[in-house]
Structure 1
Amino acid sequence: MNYLKNSLINTWDFLRSSDAYFRDVLLMHGALLFLVIPILSASTKFVLKRGGFPYLSFDNIGSIFTDHPMVLFSLTVILLLILVAVFFEFTFLLLSVYFIKKQQPISLKQLLRMTLLQIKKLRPMTFLFFLFYFLLVLPIGGLSFNSDLLAKIKIPAFIMDFIFANRVVIIGAVLLVYVLLIYLGIRVIFALPEMILRDLPFRQAIRESLQVTKRRFFAIVGQFVFIGGSILLLSSIGFTLLISLQALIERFFQSASLYSAVFIMTFLQFILLLNIILSTVAIFYIIVDFMDDEGFLPAIPASFRQESIASKKFLGFEGFLFTFITVLFGVGVSLYNMNYLTSAVRAQPLTISHRGVSNGKGVQNSLEALRLTSETYHPDYVEMDVQQTSDGAFIVYHDFTFPPLTGAKGKPEQSTLAYAQSLTVSENGETAEIPTFDAYLDLANQLDQKLLVEIKTQKKGVDTLVQNFLNQYQEDLIANGHIMQSLTYNVVEELKTQAPTLVTGYIMPFNIIGPPITSADFLTMEFSTINRNFIASAKADDKDVFVWTPNDADAISRMRFYGADGIITDQMEILNQEVNINIDEMTYSDKLLNFVIGVG
């Protein structure tokens, strides 16, 4: 209890005297967002373009490794620069907290100089351990050091659903690995700071970290839980109060609701920024505080020379410049907020049933599910999957192998049509045969049901595949308003080359460097990694955006507000209810909630 009390006192003393740390975090955050990330992103696009790759995707990575050594080398250099930048950010913030803990004022110039000095002293073993350390610390989640450089690296919802759906053993294994990573991450949590602050060799730093954390493991965990929980609680309270206040203003002072929403959105942005700062400081404070308590926080280096710190008073030109920048920033934020709250979006996105099944009623990609879904929910499109068999026929089947759904051996592309039709698909307590695309297309036309056809393939050469498919189905597809998509970039480009009038989309499971350069008519994006900025960028390129697969009312409402042109879902009943709600009926408080959930 005394330890917790002392931790609270130390935390309060730190925050009370850490205006310099707030400055450092904001500076680093701004430099990364507005300078480093745009340069690295532009460099990546330039390298890909010079190498003849319009976009980096899973189906061209192998070609880069085997056939384009200069592109591979250039991308590797960019990756190393990203990692060095992350190390620079880590070191910069660690040193900032160190000097605050030592109650030693330090100028920004000195802090940058000392950080660069550490980069110059960077040894290969230290850098390799940093990568290991960074991957171990990350599982602690919101209590860890999160870099803007790696902010887009996240596991999409569809992968998490695949891992955890009805797989008790896998869930247990994932949780066990997660706990082990957290344990190991805390046991070596002091090693990298000791290499940086004390210039210790790798082995000695690891040994000392293991010794210290063996005695204080639960105390460190308690610090993380307490500080992280407090930050989450305070942020949640702040968000709830502000959004509730906006809801009250909309009810009792409707004429002022837009202006209040603009101001409240600004406060929400401030809380989000404060949350970034406090979440970042948590890990550095805990590390430095424990090092100090255990007596191995080093003294300030003799090479450090105190420089005069600029006065906090802003006079003359500096005062005018600071005021001008503040006003300019405030006007920019207000205009952005006003546009966010009032911009028009597509009122009625296309409704699309994922694999032709809604609410688990039926077997995916089956004729029975197609009829039931079409006649019950009347979607604009039914999304389904087509693969070519070894004898040139096309079947409606999703997975690249038969075992998960049929229990039989083999792969669609390596099997004959007769073998595929001999199998039975089992799902949702029902069974169905694997249909041919001819049968599926005929039934869809009878039902007057449009299809979103996804061509799936693992082959590198796709010209013959696409030509064979178009020779059989192009006329029917265009005449009945069916549209195409594919996860394979070359299939999309080949479809648009051979059949330019056939509406075709490119599926993107990840959003790393923004919308690709493609002749596709639309992009299909995994919904958990999308935001309004991506959709706005795609619209600027004259591309529609479909999202897959939001399955609850809040997620669907958020996708509508972002401006999605089509929504692919497993819950057609919920989607139909949501799209029938007038988008103009969405209140400003709803939009603010969407902003907080999706961070714009």
Structure 2
Amino acid sequence: MPLWLKFKERFINLRNYFPIYFQSVFFLRLLQVIVVLPLLSYLFIQVLKVTGLTSITENNLMVAIQNPLALVVIALIGLTTVFFIYYEQAYYVVLAYLQRSHQDYHLRTVLRKIHRKARYFLSFQSLLFLLYFVLILPIASLGMSAGLADNLYLPHFIGDELVKSTQGFFIYFGSLLVLFYLSLRLIYTVIFFVIEEELSIFGAIKKSWQYTKGKCLKTIGFLVITLGIYALMIGLVTATLLLPLIVIEPLLSVGAPFVAGFILTLLQIVLFFSFGFLQMVLADGLLCFAYPKLEQASPLQPTSKPFLFKRPFFFYGALSLFFLIAFGANAASLTKILYQPNTQIVAHRGYMAGGVENTISALQAAAKQGADYVEMDVLETKDHQLVVFHDRTLSRLTNRQESISELTLAELQEITVHSGGFEDKIPSFEEYVQAAITAEMKLVVELKYYGWESPEMEANVVKILQKYNVTQSYLVQSLKEESIVKVKALDPNIRTGYLVAFNIGNLPATSADFVVIEEFSLNERLVEQARQVGKGIMTWTVNEEELVRRALRLNIDGIITNEPSQAKRVRQSFEENRTLVERVKELL
């Protein structure tokens, strides 16, 4: 069958089975919201209870892992997550298979076929499925992800750090290419596993690997075309729905927010269900690649029997009620006066597009970009002096292999660092503070620890801040709770921050004045908890415009970014009077 006819047939199939797909997406999301997420939340609360922790961070992870009861509950969390990911992927595959093979089916028929393979998830093979899912994440992110997997991605700061060096660049993108290749080779695993009753998870992985040999380009072509059509359709629908608002807003200032609320709610529902429809089209297409005879079957005909609801009236009634509630909330949100974010823009290690990180030239470039603060790193040298540098060794910025602990401050100050076409000298902490005062730039001082530091390091930092009378305007942060406790004891005027690389659960317990959460872990609940206990909250390292907007919507205290000019521009856009169309796009 010609390629264009294959896509035409799939979209005809989507139209014919629209009510069934509509109910299926609703069913899966309802299952996730009322069963899976509450269960995972309950299990995680039990982990915190048995360990006595408020949250799990990189600093206390071993406490949870070393507790036998907590480890059992963590295993249950993993098992539940893996099973539901399988459940959602398998659901669409089974539904497509029953339709293609012209079998009589109901929701119970679909679930029964899925449940037949559930026994494999009570064995070590569940670990194989977890490994499989990690390997197909690059494909999952292109439209095949399950609801629980929507926010699974490599934290941005890891990629940002890796690409700063040539070696890291090749490691990072080389790893992505390998993962993408593995994704393509394993993409049929769930299809084979759920359709062929005798296959184990391992057997399905093996069969997918064998089947895809020499067929990757065909799979890529299908994915690219399908996702391209989907993106085009969503773009057209969005533009069409926004068009009336563009026309009405200048003419009907009073009623326009209600029209905008209606359109926003409609768009949210369209986006919510359309992703499920996309998964159905992808599952149907890949199923036909795996079993070509199914594609040669006679044209599909929709079933006349009820699928999920015997009386669809109740389903559509519930959906209408949800629409009205969402419409009311959206209309109220759109009529609110726009707030002006108090969020401070913090240039990460200065402005690296204007100088080498952590150098005075990068500090001055950040000041020209209008940053509110510059974040910088302080290390201790061989002679227990303070130097502004981030890495343990000199290799990334100088191609020298010595560590900072092997050289004195005087020796380090003679070394030239290179990056991004710029070069500069390594400054001492005192020189850097002097330059910041001259540039009228406030600092966020991060204390870095690699194991060789003296007990006087914090006191030496505080002495310099006191010497230049900046203890009430500069901030000091660290990954080590004990170090910020020492700083606070030495000078209560200094506002201290506890830096967290990842956080699962509640706001981390800390004596610091503010918490600095990695962007991957930041959410509205943590912001609200910080406000309730009177602590500030910042996030790092936020470089993408969409993520900057998300942080500004939360109105947190600070955004640490490599792109201070972009962040400042986005912040200014929040402070201006935006049209309702712009507000709708923002909320989407």
Q: TM-score scaled to structure 1, two decimals?
A: 0.81
Of the three residues 333, 343, 350, the one matched with 2:326 is: 333
Partner of 1:349: 343
CA contact (8 A) 2:379 2:389 kept: yes
Counting only pairs closer than 5 Å after superposition, residues 377-392 of structure 1 correspond to structure 2 as 377=369, 379-392=371-384
Counting only pairs closer than 5 Å after superposition, residues 472-483 of structure 1 correspond to structure 2 as 473=465, 479-483=471-475
How much does 1:297 deviate? 12
What SS does the corresponding residue of 2:246 show, helix, strand or coil? helix
Partner of 2:301: none
Deviations 1:333-378 (A, max 9, x none): 12432354326534443233332336x223332234435644x455
Deviations 1:504-544 (A, max 9, x none): 23344556546434444334345577566664565455444
Counting only pairs closer than 5 Å after superposition, residues 489-500 of structure 1 correspond to structure 2 as 491-492=483-484
Quick check: 1:568 aligned with 2:560? yes
Amino acid corresponding to residue 253 of structure 2 in structure 1: Q
CA contact (8 A) 1:164 1:171 kept: yes
Quick check: 1:55 aligned with 2:55? yes
Partners of 1:311 and 1:459 in 2: how far apart?
63
Partners of 2:311 and 2:38 in 1: how far apart?
33
How much does 1:383 deviate? 1.6
Partners of 2:192 and 2:573 in 1: how far apart?
57
Amino acid corresponding to residue 354 of structure 1 in structure 2: H
Of the three residues 196, 199, 204, the one matched with 2:197 is: 199
Distance 1:190 1:361, change over 3 A: closer
CA contact (8 A) 2:100 2:295 kept: no
Of the three residues 398, 404, 411, the one matched with 2:403 is: 411
Amino acid corresponding to residue 392 of structure 2 in structure 1: F
Of the three residues 581, 584, 587, the one matched with 1:589 is: 581
Distance 1:96 1:382, change over 3 A: same
Of the three residues 359, 376, 388, the one matched with 1:396 is: 388
CA contact (8 A) 2:64 2:70 kept: yes
Partner of 1:32: 32
Distance 1:110 1:251, change over 3 A: same
Partner of 1:21: 21
Deviations 1:243-300 (A, max 9, x none): 45433333343333211221111122022212320232233212333344236999xx
CA contact (8 A) 1:153 1:512 kept: no
Higher relative contact order structure (alpha carbons within 8 Å, sequence separation ≥ 6): 2
Counting only pairs closer than 5 Å after superposition, residues 84-163 of structure 1 correspond to structure 2 as 84-122=83-121, 124=123, 126-163=125-162
What SS does the corresponding residue of 2:55 show, helix, strand or coil? coil
Amino acid corresponding to residue 357 of structure 1 in structure 2: Y
Partners of 1:142 and 1:495 in 2: how far apart?
43
Distance 1:111 1:171, change over 3 A: same
How much does 1:452 deviate? 1.2
Partners of 2:176 and 2:140 in 1: how far apart?
11
Distance 1:571 1:405, change over 3 A: same
How much does 1:445 deviate? 4.3
CA contact (8 A) 2:117 2:197 kept: no
Amino acid corresponding to residue 59 of structure 1 in structure 2: N
RMSD value, Cα: 4.0
Distance 1:372 1:138, change over 3 A: closer
What SS does the corresponding residue of 2:417 show, helix, strand or coil? strand
Partners of 2:130 and 2:565 in 1: how far apart?
46
Distance 1:344 1:508, change over 3 A: farther
Partners of 1:121 and 1:40 in 2: how far apart?
21
Q: Which runs of 5+ in 1 are unaligned?
A: 299-306
Worse-superposed segment, 9-18 or 230-239: 9-18
What SS does the corresponding residue of 2:418 show, helix, strand or coil? strand
Amino acid corresponding to residue 198 of structure 2 in structure 1: L
Amino acid corresponding to residue 190 of structure 1 in structure 2: Y
Deviations 1:302-329 (A, max 9, x none): xxxxx98677445xxxx5x657634542
CA contact (8 A) 2:351 2:366 kept: yes
Quick check: 1:370 aligned with 2:363? yes
CA contact (8 A) 1:492 1:504 kept: yes
Deviations 1:72-127 (A, max 9, x none): 44423422332233223333333233223334453434543443332025574753
Amino acid corresponding to residue 276 of structure 1 in structure 2: F
CA contact (8 A) 1:126 1:192 kept: no
Deviations 1:196-215 (A, max 9, x none): 22223457656654565457
Distance 1:526 1:253, change over 3 A: farther
Counting only pairs closer than 5 Å after superposition, residues 247-396 of structure 1 correspond to structure 2 as 247-294=246-293, 312-313=310-311, 322=315, 325-341=318-334, 342=336, 344-357=338-351, 360-371=353-364, 373-374=366-367, 376-377=368-369, 379-396=371-388
Partners of 1:410 and 1:71 in 2: how far apart?
42
Partner of 2:495: 503
Partner of 1:304: none
CA contact (8 A) 1:133 1:192 kept: no
How much does 1:21 deviate? 3.4
Partners of 1:500 and 1:223 in 2: how far apart?
62
Worse-superposed segment, 436-445 or 268-277: 436-445
Distance 1:334 1:129, change over 3 A: same
CA contact (8 A) 1:387 1:397 kept: yes
Partners of 1:462 and 1:259 in 2: how far apart?
63
Amino acid corresponding to residue 60 of structure 1 in structure 2: N
What SS does the corresponding residue of 1:585 show, helix, strand or coil? coil
Quick check: 1:455 aligned with 2:447? yes
Deviations 1:7-62 (A, max 9, x none): 52144225412533332232222322343224323432441353244332233335
Distance 1:91 1:484, change over 3 A: same
Partners of 1:239 and 1:489 in 2: how far apart?
48
What SS does the corresponding residue of 1:154 show, helix, strand or coil? coil
Distance 1:28 1:554, change over 3 A: closer
Amino acid corresponding to residue 353 of structure 1 in structure 2: A
Distance 1:512 1:12, change over 3 A: farther
Distance 1:465 1:64, change over 3 A: farther
What SS does the corresponding residue of 1:283 show, helix, strand or coil? helix
Distance 1:222 1:389, change over 3 A: same
Worse-superposed segment, 457-466 or 40-49: 457-466
How much does 1:425 deviate? 2.1
Partners of 1:554 and 1:186 in 2: how far apart?
29
Amino acid corresponding to residue 383 of structure 1 in structure 2: E
Partners of 1:479 and 1:211 in 2: how far apart?
64
CA contact (8 A) 1:477 1:483 kept: no
CA contact (8 A) 1:94 1:284 kept: yes
What SS does the corresponding residue of 1:158 show, helix, strand or coil? helix
CA contact (8 A) 2:354 2:361 kept: no
Distance 1:223 1:373, change over 3 A: closer
Distance 1:322 1:551, change over 3 A: closer
CA contact (8 A) 1:21 1:97 kept: no
Q: TM-score scaled to structure 2, two decimals?
A: 0.83
What SS does the corresponding residue of 1:387 show, helix, strand or coil? strand
Distance 1:441 1:172, change over 3 A: closer
What SS does the corresponding residue of 2:144 show, helix, strand or coil? coil
The number of aligned residues is 579
Worse-superposed segment, 365-374 or 446-455: 365-374
Deviations 1:160-218 (A, max 9, x none): 33444574x76666556545544444444434422322223457656654565457654
CA contact (8 A) 2:350 2:376 kept: yes
Amino acid corresponding to residue 94 of structure 1 in structure 2: V
CA contact (8 A) 1:220 1:286 kept: no
CA contact (8 A) 2:86 2:190 kept: no
What SS does the corresponding residue of 2:556 show, helix, strand or coil? coil
